Amino acid sequence: MADNRPIGVFDSGLGGLTVLKELEKVLPNENFVYFGDTGRVPYGSRSNETIISYAKQDENFLLSKGVKYIVAACGTVSAVAAHTAKELPVNFMGVVENSVKAAVSATKNQKIGVIGTSATINNGAHKTKILELMPNAKVTTADCPLFVPLVEEGFSDKDDIVVLEVARRYLAPMLEAGVDTLILGCTHYPILLGAIKKIMGENVTLINMGNSTALAVKEELTALNMLNEDTTIGNKEFYVSDLTASFGKISNILLGKKIENVNLVDISKYEGSSNRN
Tens-place pLDDT, residues 93-151: 999 999 999 999 999 999 999 999 888 898 899 999 999 999 999 999 999 999 989 99
Question: 276 falls in which pLDDT band (50, 70, 90)?
Answer: low
Q: What is the pLDDT of residue 277?
A: 59
128 and 172 belong to one structural domain: yes
82 and 60 belong to one structural domain: yes
CATH number of the CATH domain containing 29: 3.40.50.1860
Asked whether the beta carbons of 147 and 186 are under 8 A apart, the reply is yes
Residue that terminates a domain, selected from 164, 182, 209: 209
32 and 85 belong to one structural domain: yes
Average pLDDT taken over every residue of the chain:
92
Give the C-alpha separation, 269 to 249, whole Å: 28
Residue that terminates a domain, selected from 209, 232, 254: 209
Angstrom CA distances, 198 to 104, 141, 189, 193, 224, stand at 22, 19, 14, 8, 40
Total structural domains in the chain?
2
220 and 182 belong to one structural domain: no
Residue that terminates a domain, selected from 176, 209, 242: 209
Q: What is the pLDDT of residue 245?
A: 75
Q: Per-residue pLDDT tens for 64-93?
A: 999 999 999 988 888 888 899 899 999 999
101 and 203 belong to one structural domain: yes
Domain of residue 242 covers 7-94+211-270
73 and 157 belong to one structural domain: no
Q: What is the pLDDT of residue 95?
A: 92
Q: Is 74 noted as a catalytic residue in this protein?
A: yes
Structural domain includes residue 14: yes
Structural domain includes residue 277: no
Structural domain includes residue 1: no
Structural domain includes residue 276: no
SS3 content of the chain, % helix, strand, coil (to 5): 45, 15, 40
Structural domain includes residue 156: yes
Q: Is the dihedral of CA 38, 43, 49, 50 positive or negative?
A: negative
226 and 155 belong to one structural domain: no
What's the mean pLDDT in 248-276? 83
Question: 41 falls in which pLDDT band (50, 70, 90)?
Answer: confident
128 and 185 belong to one structural domain: yes
Asked whether the beta carbons of 55 and 45 are under 8 A apart, the reply is no
- Catalytic hit among 17, 74, 130, 148: 74
76 and 23 belong to one structural domain: yes
106 and 171 belong to one structural domain: yes
Structural domain includes residue 2: no
pLDDT at 208 over 70: yes
Q: Is 186 noted as a catalytic residue in this protein?
A: yes
Under the phi-then-psi rule, with left for phi > 0, alpha for psi from -120 to 50, and beta for the rest, what region is 145?
Answer: alpha
161 and 226 belong to one structural domain: no
Q: Which of 79, 93, 59 is nearest to 277 (CA)?
A: 59
Burial of 268 (0-12, 13-18, 19+ CB in 10 A): exposed
- Catalytic hit among 41, 62, 183, 186: 186
Highest average pLDDT, of 146-155, 177-186, 224-233, comes from 177-186
191 and 144 belong to one structural domain: yes
What's the mean pLDDT in 257-273? 85
